[in-house]
C-alpha cells in the first residue's frame, strides 16, 4: 500500500529540502518522489541532505506540471499550512493518513506539498480531494517543507503498521487526468450555453469540483455526463446555426 503513495513537491526552491524529503520518505518506507518544476535540481545540496536515500532521490520523477505529476492517480490530497476560506474538506495528519492508505489499497494516490514560501495555489488545491493541515502554533504555523513531509510520512507508516486503512468505498473510479478533461468540458459547455460567465465562474467551478469529488464517477458515468455536455453544446450551436428553437 505504501508503494502506491506518491509524494509530490511543487516548485521547491531549496534543493536541501528535496534531499531532506528523500531521507524522511525512506525512513518511513515511502519510495515515490515526484518533483514539479524544482528550482535547482539535480543539486549537490539535495544529494548531501538525502544521506542514505540517494537511490530514492535518483529515482525521483521530474514533471513540468502538477497534472503530469498526478496522472494515473485515483486521488490527491494537498498539504496546507493555512485554514482555507474556500470549503475544501480538511483533515488532520492522522485521519488523512488513514484515508490515503485506504485509497492506496485500490490504486495510486498522491500527497502534494507546495512552495516553501507560499504553499499551493487555489488552482492546485482544486486538484485535491481534501486538504491536510498539521496542527501547530497559531502564531507560527508554517513548518519547514521536509518537516511537514516527515510528519505526514510518519503518520502513514503508523497507520500502515496499525492496519488502519480507512476505505471509503471499493470502486473503480476514473483517474484524475480524465476528471480534469471532464471539468474543462463542463466549464466550456456552461459558457457556451450561456449559463456562466468565464470571468466569474471560478467559485462555481470549485463547487462543482467538490460535488464530483464526492460523487467519484466511474468510466460509464463519465461517458454519460460528457455525452450530455456534448449534446447541450450541439443544441446550442444548432440554435446558433438555425436561429430557432430545436
Binding residue (CB under 8 A) for a second copy from 114, 133, 150, 187: 150
- CB 155 within 8 Å of CB 199: no
Distances (CA, A) of 56 to 53, 89, 167, 170, 198: 5, 31, 28, 30, 43
- The pairing of strands 109-113 and 75-79 is parallel
Phi, psi of 53, rounded to the nearest 5 degrees: -110, 35
Nearest to a second copy of 115, 226 (CB atom):
115
Task: Please report, for residues 109, 148, 151, the alpha-carbon distance to residue 19 in angstroms, rounded to integers and kept in the order given.
Answer: 22, 14, 16
- Candidate residues 65, 121, 122, 136; the one interacting with a second copy per rule CB under 8 A: 136
Residue 137 sits in the site that holds a second copy (CB under 8 A):
yes
Number of residues that bind a second copy (CB under 8 A): 29
Half-sphere exposure of 175 (CA within 13 A, CB side): 12
Considering the complex, state which of residue 55 and residue 215 has its C-beta at the smaller distance from a second copy.
55
Beta-sheet strands, E only, within the chain: 5-10, 32-36, 61-63, 75-79, 90-91, 109-113, 130-132
Q: Which residue has the cell 528550482?
A: 39
The contacts of residue 64 (CB under 8 Å, 6+ apart) are 36, 37
Q: Does 133 bind a second copy (CB under 8 A)?
A: no
Q: Binding pattern to a second copy, positions 8-47, x when CB under 8 A?
A: ------------x--xx-xxxx------------------
93-104 vs 145-161: helix axis angle to the nearest 10? 60
Of 111 and 186, which has the nearer Cβ to a second copy? 111
For a second copy, the binding residue among 13, 37, 43, 51 (CB under 8 A) is: 51
Among positions 118, 161, 199, 244, the unique one binding a second copy when judged by CB under 8 A:
161
Does 94 bind a second copy (CB under 8 A)? Our answer is: yes
Identity of the residue, 56 or 176, whose beta carbon is nearer to a second copy in the bound complex? 56
Residue 3 makes contact with a second copy by CB under 8 A? no
Q: Which is nearer to a second copy, 106 or 153 (CB)?
A: 153
Q: Among 121, 144, 230, 237, which residue interacts with a second copy (rule: CB under 8 A)?
A: 144
Q: In what order do the strands lie in the sheet with 32-36?
A: 61-63, 32-36, 5-10, 109-113, 75-79, 130-132, 90-91
Nearest to a second copy of 139, 246 (CB atom): 139
For 27, which DSSP code? Answer: H
Q: How far is the CB of 143 from a second copy (least distance, A)?
A: 5
What residues line the site for a second copy (CB under 8 A)? 20, 23-24, 26-29, 51-53, 93-94, 134-137, 140-144, 146-147, 150-151, 154, 157-158, 161
Amino acid at each position: 500500500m505504501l508503494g502506491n503513495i506518491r509524494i509530490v513537491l511543487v516548485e521547491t526552491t531549496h534543493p536541501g529540502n528535496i534531499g531532506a524529503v528523500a531521507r524522511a520518505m525512506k525512513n518511513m518506507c515511502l519510495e515515490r518522489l515526484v518533483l514539479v518544476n524544482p528550482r535547482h535540481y539535480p543539486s549537490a545540496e539535495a544529494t548531501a541532505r538525502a544521506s542514505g536515500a540517494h537511490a530514492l532521490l535518483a529515482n525521483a520523477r521530474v514533471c513540468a506540471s502538477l497534472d503530469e505529476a498526478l496522472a494515473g492517480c485515483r486521488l490527491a490530497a494537498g498539504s496546507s499550512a493555512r485554514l482555507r476560506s474556500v470549503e475544501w474538506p480538511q483533515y488532520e495528519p492522522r485521519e488523512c493518513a488513514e484515508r490515503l492508505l485506504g485509497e492506496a489499497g485500490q490504486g495510486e494516490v498522491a500527497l502534494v506539498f507546495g512552495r516553501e514560501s507560499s504553499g499551493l495555489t487555489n488552482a492546485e488545491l482544486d486538484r485535491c480531494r481534501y486538504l491536510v493541515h498539521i496542527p501547530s502554533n497559531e502564531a507560527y504555523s508554517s513548518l519547514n517543507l521536509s518537516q511537514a513531509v516527515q510528519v505526514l510520512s510518519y503518520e502513514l507508516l503508523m497507520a500502515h503498521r496499525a492496519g488502519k486503512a480507512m476505505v471509503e468505498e471499493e470502486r473503480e473510479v476514473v483517474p484524475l487526468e480524465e476528471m480534469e478533461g471532464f471539468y474543462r468540458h463542463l466549464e466550456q459547455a456552461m459558457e457556451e450555453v450561456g449559463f456562466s460567465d468565464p470571468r466569474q465562474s471560478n467559485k462555481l467551478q470549485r463547487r462543482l469540483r467538490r460535488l464530483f469529488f464526492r460523487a467519484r464517477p466511474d468510466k460509464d458515468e463519465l461517458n454519460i455526463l460528457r455525452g450530455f455536455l456534448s449534446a447541450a453544446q450541439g443544441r446550442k450551436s444548432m440554435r446558433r446555426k438555425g436561429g430557432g428553437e430545436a
